[in-house]
Every structure is written in structure tokens, then in C-alpha cells.
């Protein structure tokens, strides 16, 4: 749950409300919950069977038979991560700059300077031997959970049910436009749910993984879904539609809807400012932990010989993977200057659907039919229905993502080319040796 909730729900509220024309945004949060639960069962089966460090990096090796596919799919996952990770970093930094805008009226250049500066600051803070962020994670969860509960509880006495539940689906001229809007909104809601699978990255360290990994995933999704649905309902019942969509689609965003919510409820800019400070702490801490974790993925793959060797280099004194950290930080800095929040979030999710989420679910179904039931310590209920539901919703989101479809296809194509170039270099090096 700590991994699932960071800056995401606070910065996606306006984007989802804008796509769904106001309170109908609750539908996108609901669809995101269904997808997360169904896909979570896929991860639960994989994590229970292969409780090893690495998550998808391990699963893709095991799921795809043959020497070629067994090397290609993990490589594509790492290739995608080297692009997706900086996008995640950029999304956190842009969200941080958005909420700074509640205190200071930022122009376009100033907004980009703040977001880029946050990335540089976090890279500098991580440029050292960091052994553990366990305490930071606990503090982050207390602040995040407390802020969400404060937000939900503040609606009592100010809640307008008629406003909250007036979905106004008739504002969409056709069902096609409604489904397209739902798909684009669901990209943002799913972004806020991401992280339900992170326990799989720690599989080797989990006691009784066949029981605790599935339980962790399913309970986390249910708990966070309840919080998110209550949060969106509370905001829908307090703020008018115009305030809900205030930050979406503008050159200089004013995407601090939660700050406006607290200001509306308490009629106090000071209280709203305090809530905004909490959100900035959440954004900074989640960005710090994300950069720390992502910088280790290319490093670990390079150590195993599955990625470019330069990423395996460690700092001569402090012994941390400085090349991987600098690469992710530098790319995150560039992305934070070039893109807006909605663009970054869409790119993050769409590129992961083909290589990671969709391929895992399809390969799991195929492997389940080729292997004995006893090989699977945890088996999802009603198999293969949850996996099929996950695949269909992933495809729905992918097909309604417009120009970002090409992002996903480009990542697959460029990664495949890079893989064969690396294979050729590797064979040439072996012959030379």
C-alpha cells in the first residue's frame, strides 16, 4: 500500500475529471480497481510460484520458452524500464511543481525549472551509499494515509450528494466518445494503483510466499480502491465541476485540486497550505524511493549479463550503481522539461502493457494449461477468467490511448533492434575471446 500511494491520486484527480466531464470520473477509478484486482491475481500466481528477487524480470524468463524468447523478453523489460523509470521520475517531479503552484504563481518556464530542479536534487541526494529506506517508507505511509483520511473525513458537513452522483453521461454525444474518454481516464486511474505487484520484487525475502504474496496483493488493492473511491466521491461532492478540471489541458497547469478542496471546506488558505505541504512531502519521498529502486534494475540485469555492461559499474568509494542512477536521473530531468503530466502518465502505462502486463497474463494462461495444478502454490479463483478480464481491460486502455499507441510499439521495436545488436556484439566478443 505504501508503494501504491504516492503523489499519484493527488495529481490525477483533475486529469480524470477532465476526461470524464466531472463526477463520472468515479467510473474510471472503479475500472482501475477491477483491473488492478484481476491483474493482481496474475501477479499473485507468478509470485507464489517463483518467489525470487526481480519480479517481471524473473517471470518473463520463466514464462517464455526457448533460448531466444527467454532472453528477449527480459531484455525488453529492462529496455522499457530504462525509459519508463525516468518517466515515473518526471511524473513525480511535475506533480511536485504543480502543487508548488498553489503557493507561487509559476509561469511555464518556472514550472519546468522547478520540476527539473527536483530531479537534480533527488539524484544528488541518492548519489551516496543508501542502505535502507524502510523508516522513510513508514513515515511516508503515515503522512499519505493520514492525508487521505483527513481529505475523506473533511467532506462531512459539506457533502452534496446530488453533485457527487450526477454522472451526466448524456454530455457524451455517442457511446464511442464515452468509451474513448473512459479509456483515457482509466490510464490515469491505473497509474495511481500501480505498485500492487511490488511485493513480487522482494519474493526471496517473504516468509511463506505462497500465502503472503497473494494476500498482500489482494488486500492492498481492495484497501486502496476503497480509499480512492471515497476520495473521489468526497471531492466530487464538495467541489464544482469547474474546480475539478481547473488544472487540465492548460499551458501552465493549476493542478492542485486537493489544495482547492481543503480551502473550500475550511475557508482557510492556511489549512489548505498545510495540506499542500503534506502532499509535497509525499511527492518528494515517493520520488526519492522510486529513483532508488529503479536505479537498481538495469544494474542487476547488467550484472547477470542481460543488459549493457556499463550499467553494472559501481561507485569506486560508495559502491552504489552510479551509472544507472545518473542515466535515469538525466533522462528524468529531460522528460520533466519536455512533457506535461498527462502525457507522461499515458506514456508510462501504454509502453508497459505490451511488454509486461499483457504478455505476462497471456503467457500465464498458456503455461497453466501446459503444467500440473500442483506446480502452482496459489491458483486464482475462476481461472482463467480474472486473467482474461485483465487482458481485455489492458487492450481496451491500449486501444483508446491515441497517439501513445505508437509509443508502446516504438519501445517494442527499438528494444528488439537493441537486443539483436547486443547479441551480435556479445557473439563477436566471445569469438574474439
Residue 424: is its pLDDT beyond 90? no
- For residue range 13-58, what is the model confidence (pLDDT) as tens digits? 888 988 998 899 999 999 999 999 999 999 999 999 999 877 888 8
Burial of residue 264, with CB atoms counted within 10 A of its CB: 0-12 exposed, 13-18 middle, 19 or more buried: middle
Per domain, the residue ranges of the chain are 8-432
pLDDT band at 103, cuts 50/70/90? very high
User: Cell numbers at residue 202, please?
Assistant: 522482494
Predicted structure pTM score: 0.89
Higher pLDDT, 214 or 140: 214
pLDDT band at 294, cuts 50/70/90? confident
DSSP string for 211-271? HHHHHHHHHHHHHHHHHHHHHHHHHHHHS-HHHHTTTTT-SS----HHHHHHHHHHS-HHH
User: Cell numbers at residue 80, please?
Assistant: 522499457
Q: Taking residues 275-287, report their average pLDDT.
A: 87
* 418-429 b/e (C-beta count within 10 Å ≥ 16 → b): bbeebeeeeeee
Residue 366: is its pLDDT beyond 70? yes
- For residue range 298-333, what is the model confidence (pLDDT) as tens digits? 887 888 888 888 998 988 887 888 899 999 999 999
The CA distance from 73 to 66, in Å, is 11
Residue 129: is its pLDDT beyond 70? no
Query: Which CATH fold topology does 8-432 show?
Result: Amino acid/polyamine transporter I (1.20.1740)
pLDDT value for 173: 85
Q: Taking residues 148-177, report their average pLDDT.
A: 90
Burial of residue 87, with CB atoms counted within 10 A of its CB: 0-12 exposed, 13-18 middle, 19 or more buried: buried
Omega before residue 18 within 30° of 0, cis: no
Residue 431: is its pLDDT beyond 70? no
Stated as kind and residue range, the H or E segment containing 152 is helix 134-154
pLDDT band at 72, cuts 50/70/90? very high
pLDDT band at 263, cuts 50/70/90? very high
User: Cell numbers at residue 148, please?
Assistant: 487521505
pLDDT band at 233, cuts 50/70/90? very high
pLDDT value for 132: 47
pLDDT band at 251, cuts 50/70/90? very low
- For residue range 367-417, what is the model confidence (pLDDT) as tens digits? 999 999 999 999 999 999 999 999 999 999 999 998 899 988 999 999 999
- For residue range 197-213, what is the model confidence (pLDDT) as tens digits? 988 877 777 889 999 99
Range with the largest mean pLDDT of 5-9, 28-32, 289-293 = 28-32
Q: What percent of the chain has pLDDT over 90?
A: 52
pLDDT value for 430: 58
Amino acid at each position: 500500500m505504501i508503494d501504491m500511494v504516492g503523489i499519484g491520486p493527488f495529481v490525477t484527480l483533475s486529469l480524470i475529471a477532465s476526461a470524464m466531464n466531472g463526477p463520472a470520473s468515479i467510473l474510471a477509478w472503479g475500472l482501475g480497481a477491477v483491473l488492478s484486482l484481476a491483474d493482481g491475481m496474475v501477479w499473485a500466481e507468478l509470485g507464489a510460484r517463483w518467489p525470487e528477487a526481480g519480479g517481471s524480470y524473473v517471470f518473463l524468463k520463466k514464462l517464455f520458452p526457448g533460448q531466444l524468447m527467454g532472453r528477449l523478453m527480459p531484455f525488453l523489460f529492462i529496455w522499457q524500464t530504462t525509459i519508463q523509470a525516468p518517466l515515473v521520475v518526471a511524473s513525480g517531479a511535475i506533480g511536485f511543481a504543480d502543487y508548488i503552484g498553489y503557493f507561487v504563481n509559476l509561469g511555464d518556464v518556472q514550472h519546468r525549472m522547478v520540476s527539473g530542479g527536483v530531479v537534480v536534487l533527488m539524484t544528488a541526494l541518492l548519489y551516496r551509499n543508501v542502505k535502507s529506506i524502510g523508516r522513510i517508507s513508514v513515515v511516508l505511509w503515515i503522512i499519505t494515509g493520514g492525508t487521505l483520511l483527513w481529505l475523506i473525513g473533511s467532506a462531512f458537513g459539506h457533502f452534496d450528494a446530488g453533485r457527487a452522483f450526477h454522472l451526466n453521461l448524456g454530455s457524451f454525444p455517442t457511446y464511442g466518445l464515452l468509451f474513448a474518454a473512459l479509456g483515457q481516464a482509466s490510464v490515469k486511474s491505473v497509474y495511481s494503483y500501480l505498485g500492487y505487484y511490488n511485493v513480487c520484487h522482494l519474493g526471496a525475502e517473504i516468509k511463506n510466499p505462497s500465502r503472503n504474496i497473494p494476500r498482500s496483493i489482494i488486500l492492498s488493492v481492495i484497501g486502496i480502491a476503497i480509499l480512492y473511491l471515497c476520495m473521489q466521491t468526497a471531492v466530487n461532492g464538495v467541489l464544482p465541476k469547474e474546480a475539478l478540471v481547473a488544472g487540465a489541458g492548460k499551458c501552465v497547469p493549476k493542478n492542485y485540486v486537493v489544495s482547492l478542496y481543503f480551502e473550500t471546506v475550511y475557508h482557510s488558505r492556511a489549512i489548505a497550505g498545510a495540506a499542500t505541504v503534506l502532499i509535497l512531502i509525499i511527492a518528494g519521498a515517493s520520488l526519492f524511493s522510486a529513483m532508488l529502486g529503479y536505479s537498481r534494475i538495469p544494474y542487476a540485469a547488467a550484472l547477470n549479463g542481460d543488459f549493457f555492461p556499463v550499467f553494472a559499474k559501481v561507485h569506486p568509494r560508495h559502491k552504489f550503481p552510479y551509472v544507472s542512477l545518473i542515466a535515469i536521473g538525466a533522462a528524468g530531468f529531460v522528460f520533466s522539461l519536455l512533457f506535461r503530466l498527462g502525457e507522461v502518465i499515458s506514456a508510462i502505462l501504454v509502453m508497459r502493457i505490451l511488454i509486461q502486463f499483457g504478455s505476462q497474463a497471456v503467457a500465464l494462461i498458456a503455461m497453466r494449461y501446459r503444467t500440473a495444478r500442483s506446480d502452482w502454490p496459489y491458483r486464482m479463483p475462476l481461472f482463467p477468467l480474472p486473467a482474461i478480464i485483465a487482458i481485455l481491460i489492458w487492450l481496451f486502455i491500449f486501444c483508446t490511448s491515441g497517439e501513445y499507441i505508437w509509443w508502446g510499439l516504438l519501445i517494442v521495436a527499438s528494444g528488439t533492434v537493441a537486443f539483436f545488436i547486443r547479441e551480435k556484439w556479445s557473439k563477436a566478443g566471445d569469438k574474439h575471446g
